[in-house]
Structures are given as structure tokens and as C-alpha cells.
Amino acid sequence: MTNTRRGMTAEDLYQIRYVSDPQISPDGKTVVYIETMIDDDRKYRNHLFLRRFEDEQASALTDGSVRDTYPRWSPDGSQISFVSNRSGKAQIWLIDAKGGEARQLTHCKTGVSNPTWAPDGKHIVFSSQLDAGDTFADQEGEETTGNKETPKAITVERMKYKSDDNGFIYEKNRHLAVVHVETGEITQITEGAYNHTIGSWSPDGKWLAITASRTENPDFQHSIDVYLIPFAGGEWKKLTNSRGIFFYPTWSADGKKLAFIGSESDTHLNATQKRVWVYDLERGEKSCITSDWDAQVADSTIGDVRSPGHPNPGPIWSEDGNAMYVIASERGNSGIYRVSLSGHVTSVVGGDRNIYGFSLHEKEQTLVAVISDPFIPGDMYQVHLTSGEESRLTAVNHELFSGLELSIPEEIEFEAQDGWKVHGWMLKPVGYQPGKKYPMVLQIHGGPHSMYGNTFFHEFHILANQGYAVLYTNPRGSFGYGERFVQACCGDYGGKDYGDLMSAVEYACRHFDFVDENRLGVAGGSYGGFMTNWIVGQTNKFKAAVTDRSICNWVSFYGVSDIGYYFSAEEIQANPFTNPEKMWQHSPIRLVANIETPLLIMHGEQDHRCPIEQAEQLYITLKHQEKGPVSFVRFPGASHELSRSGDPEQRVLRLQYTADWFAAYMDSQVKVASE
């Protein structure tokens, strides 16, 4: 029988959908969720869907050329609040749970985020960016659309004046307010030159648990603390000690305890695993209940279809208050675990996959999770807690994927040069034939404190369809393998992490007889771009390389990145004042004279995390030293999120440039992506 299936292409991105942010109704009978797609105009769209568990199909609650996100049930289940850009900026809207026309609740000029219902169903707390000196009264009125005239001059007073997430923030801060559901009246509850994030309401509605950076000098002190704010007004209570970062505070049902996720560290905030903490409000004591569990309590999996930052439900308490449910990452998988107050950990929903969000209704013994694996970008499953039985509720890519041929990743583990175990995967080319040799591309993830895993990765399937074997691993610095492993690259960028990657290549060439060791490529973005630059400066083993959103010079990165001045101190363990030599030693640009590998450099022009000057330096230095072939591709308007949530057409172009570069310099017989 003739195989009519085809391999995956870059343009398939326009058809891929995924599901996110499921929320079970108060009665446990229905779930509301988001479906994300790219429309015919090549724009992202998010719509709300409802699915009664007893029904066969979901129904659309919203539609149109809009981005509707963050659905939340009112306490009585009669209404759903959500955030929508349908009137310009993102605002809170309300819609009857049975459907109908939505009603706009807020009219803030700069938009809002994270609306959370009070237990009384009469109020919703939300957050918004305010300029210094502004109040929420100044916010009400006609929404800005981003087309304002650019000011002639801007004064910058702080170090944290830009953000890859929010652009140039200057003197803006994130503040919280409460809106009355019936009248629309807004009451501001935070102020000052600080940033605040919503947590949750106490069961009696008298307190709000939030997180905030309210240190004396937040430019230098990066801690995030947990606070309690009395809704009726009065003195705040600070529950943590400004020695770490904490998120997602949630209340036990009796209101006597608060749980949150975070870490305490004086030296490795980025590379310290997040753990579960509990604060006993009667005793006034904070304790870490997962101190003996060497795991990252968060989803640290990297993919390239879903944008990062999926709403984290935080620790979800059991009804009896003796345990909570959390997402954690281990060995390339992220799952749901039940953690008792004594620290006992039990897997609830696991497997070789990436669980990136969930909602729980313990009375009905049901849980809804959104899940990805190497063949599923993101779908929703119902899990019955008593039996463990799973039911798939969505299959949003069935039509597209039923016509595709995709390779199955093979899990691998090998020893690095010093005996450490390193974990990864090999993806064979589509149409693999035993006895034939294939070129191989080593892919390197960003972070470095993240992990590759059992999730969908569009780029890998494209390369496999182009005739490449794809090798991807988690070198030292990755989450998922314990805290010692994740901290092992700090101060050693380009050292044993580089050794882990080269050991992976050596293992693949030795273990898989289909790999042609004379046709090897390497690619990566962010930290992966740094490592790609480093690799081609160390060895000529690779026939082609693609560096994306990369770092080449730690000395200049210090002053231009939105995180540079503190990231360098933690990760390189040096700064330009006390040890510039160490920063230079870890900078790939000093190795340009050694580079012989054809190098494609790609970068977004509005990248504030790894600013484009890094790519410019590398490109000009290579050209000035008459190195090549080298090509530089700039993406106007693109941030650091170019490859994940950037402009869809730019994402497709980036994938085509990558495949074309490898085709040109690794194997002329491999078909070109844009053909």
C-alpha cells in the first residue's frame, strides 16, 4: 500500500492549534478552556470553549478576530470572567456561563491581567501597569492602542527600565486593584515604586495573598515576597524574609494555612529548584515541605509551539487541608504530584509527556490536565482520581496530524567525560532506511535552566522531514536532574556543559550506525545560541551551524540586557569591575579567529533579553576577519520570544532559513525547506 502521509513543514505552523488554561466549574460538571490558533490573516486568536463532561463535544463560548484568555468561573458558576483585547487593550469581560453577549467590565488605558474572583462573587481583583504617580482613576477612560506619538525625550532613573516581556517600562510598576462586578467601581489596593502579582483570596474574603518585590532597592535586591493584604484596609503582613523568590500563594480551605512555590538562595536564584512551602498562620511559621524531594516544582519543559508563561495554578489544596497538588519536572517529563504536609510525594498523573496546566475538583474526584507529547502540541484530558482512568477531551490537530508522518524519539543516556550521566533523545529522519547514512543536527536548548523533554517540538519534526537525524539532550545546567546538576554550569559556561554536548555527539556517532559523522550540524537559541557560538570556536567538527538570539560577549551583555547586570553575576560569576577577564574568557567572540564553520546568525531587533548588538558584534567580527560563509538575518519588531510566540510569518521564515542553511552546507541531496 502506498504511504500517502507527508512529513511536517514550516508552513504547518499556520494550522497547529493547542489547548490551555482549563478551569472546572464550581459544580464539577463543566470545564472552560482556551483554544489557540493562527487565522487566515496570520494572526493569533484565542477563543473560549465549554465542555460538559457528559457531552461528546465542546461548544465555542467566544469567537471572532480576538484574543480571549484567562477564563475564571464566578463562585456560583453563573458567570465567567475573561481577559480580551476585543475593545483594544486587554480588559476584563464577563459572559453568562450559558452563553450570550459578553459585557466589558474595565476600561483601563494600559490594559489589565490576572482577574481573580472574590469569594462573595461581587468583586474581582486584577493588575495593571501604572506610570509613576498615576492612580487607577487616571487609568479609566479611552484605551490606548499603541499608536501614540513617540515622546521627544525620555528620562530613565532606574536600572530595570526595560523588559523583554513588556518592552520599555521606564517608571511603570504593576499595581493591583479591585473592581465591583455590578458597578464597575475600581479601588486601588497597592501603590509605590514596586511590582505586585495577584495570588488568591482567603476563603472568608477578608485577605488577599499576593507576591511583590518591595525591597529597599529592587534594582539590586531581586527577592519576591509573600504578603497578606486586608481587603477592608489596614496593615499588611509580610510572610517571607526577602531571601528568595516566591509565587502563587494559595489558601487551605479552613483559611489557617497558606502554600506557595519558591526558593531561598543567596547565590543561585535562577538555578535553585522551586519547592513547596507552607505558612502556618496561627503559629506564624514558614516551612519547606519538599526539602527532601530533589525536583523542580514547576513545568520547565521547552517547546516551540506554545508560548511560555502558561498560568500556573500554584499548589492546589486537598479539601481536608492535609496535602496539595503541584506540577513538577523530572527527567524530561512534567507531571502532577500530590504532596502531603509531611512531605510525602505521590505521582497522580505521570508518563512520558509534558503536563503544563491543570484544574482540580476533588469532591467530584476529577482533574483536567492539558498535556503535550512528541506528537501532540497540546490537548485536554480528564483524569478520574479514584481509578486513575484518563479520557481525552480534545484532539484539536486531528485533521492535520492524520495526514503527517512523524518520527518517534528514542530516549538515550550516556556518560560524560567525567562520568556524569546525561539524558537526551534521538529523532530519526522521516522515511529512515536501515543501512543508509544520514546527516545529524545537534539542538541545544536555551535557559540554560530549562529542559528538553517529551513534548512537541515543531522544528525537530521539520528537520527530520528534511532528512536529518536530530539529537537533543539536557546538559549540565538543565532542570529535571536534581539541584546539583542544574547548578553545575554556573561559573563554568563552555566548560563541562560543552563537554556534555560533545559527549552526546560522540555517543550518537558511536551508537547509531545511521549517523554520518562527516555531516554534522549544530543549532540553538539564547543560551543554546551562546553554546553554538562557543562550539564553532572550539572545533571544526560541524559542517554548518545556526545561532539564534545568541550571546557572544558577556562584557557588553552586562549593560544591554534587561537581566544582564545580575544574570552575569549569577551565571558567569563575574562582573566587569572585579573580574572582566573571566567574562571575556567565557565570551565566544574572543574565539572568532578559530571559526571555520559556515554560520547563520538570526536575531530579533526588539530582543531585550539578548539584544541584537550581540549578533551584530559576532557578524561584524567574522566579516572583518574574513571568516565565512556567514549570513545575518534580522527580524524587525521581534523580541526574544521570536521562535515561540513571535509573529507567525517570522517564525516560519526562521524555520525555512534554518533548514535552507543546513541543506546548503551539509548535504546537497537534502531537499530545501522552502521548495
Does 673 score more than 60 pLDDT?
no
pLDDT, tens only, 211-237: 999 988 888 888 999 999 999 999 999
Question: What pLDDT sits at residue 668?
Answer: 45
pLDDT, tens only, 506-544: 999 999 999 999 999 999 999 999 999 999 999 999 999
pLDDT, tens only, 350-392: 999 999 999 999 999 999 999 999 999 999 999 999 999 999 9
Marked catalytic residue, from 263, 300, 640, 643: 640
DSSP 591: G
Q: Report the CATH superfamily, name and number, of domain 438-447+458-473+498-552+587-666.
A: Alpha/Beta hydrolase fold, catalytic domain (3.40.50.1820)
Question: What pLDDT sits at residue 144?
Answer: 54
Mean pLDDT of 176-191: 96
Instruction: pLDDT band for 147, please (50, 70, 90 cuts).
Output: low
Instruction: pLDDT band for 670, please (50, 70, 90 cuts).
Output: very low
Annotated active-site residue 526? The verdict is yes
pLDDT, tens only, 90-101: 999 999 999 999
Question: What pLDDT sits at residue 129?
Answer: 92
CA–CA separation, 624 and 626 (whole Å): 5
Q: Are 376 and 394 in contact (CB under 8 A)?
A: no
Does 312 score more than 80 pLDDT?
yes
Q: Locate cell 532528512: which residue?
A: 467
pLDDT, tens only, 397-454: 999 999 999 999 999 999 999 999 999 999 999 999 999 999 999 999 999 999 999 9
How much of the chain exceeds pLDDT 90, in percent? 87
The mean-pLDDT minimum among 69-78, 144-153, 504-513, 541-550 falls in 144-153
Instruction: pLDDT band for 142, please (50, 70, 90 cuts).
Output: low
Nearest CA among 586, 671, 661 for reference residue 628: 661
CA–CA separation, 106 and 143 (whole Å): 10
> Can you say how many angstroms the Cα of residue 505 is from the centroid of all Cα atoms in its chain?
27
Does 671 score more than 90 pLDDT?
no
Q: Domain ranges for the chain, please list them.
A: 438-447+458-473+498-552+587-666
The CA-atom distances, in angstroms, between 371 and each of 59, 375, 395 are 20, 11, 11
Does 309 score more than 60 pLDDT?
yes
Does 138 score more than 80 pLDDT?
no
Strand order across the 257-264 sheet = 244-251, 257-264, 275-280, 285-288
Mean pLDDT of 249-256: 97
**Amino acid code (one letter) for 43:** K
DSSP notation for 529-572: HHHHHHHHHH----SEEEEES----HHHHHHHSSSHHHHHHHHT
Instruction: pLDDT band for 267, please (50, 70, 90 cuts).
Output: confident
**Amino acid code (one letter) for 441:** V
pLDDT, tens only, 473-507: 999 999 999 999 999 999 999 999 999 999 999 99
Marked catalytic residue, from 25, 300, 407, 526: 526
Residues contacting residue 153 through CB under 8 Å, at least 6 positions apart:
none
Residues contacting residue 96 through CB under 8 Å, at least 6 positions apart:
78, 79, 80
Q: Are 190 and 198 in contact (CB under 8 A)?
A: no
Mean pLDDT of 323-333: 98
Does 460 score more than 70 pLDDT?
yes
Instruction: pLDDT band for 32, please (50, 70, 90 cuts).
Output: very high
**Across the chain, what does the average pLDDT equal?**
94
**Number of residues that make up the chain:** 675
CA–CA separation, 69 and 90 (whole Å): 9
How much of the chain exceeds pLDDT 70, in percent? 96
pLDDT, tens only, 621-669: 999 999 989 999 999 999 999 999 999 999 999 999 999 999 999 974 4
Instruction: pLDDT band for 674, please (50, 70, 90 cuts).
Output: very low
Nearest CA among 544, 505, 547 for reference residue 530: 547
Annotated active-site residue 640? The verdict is yes
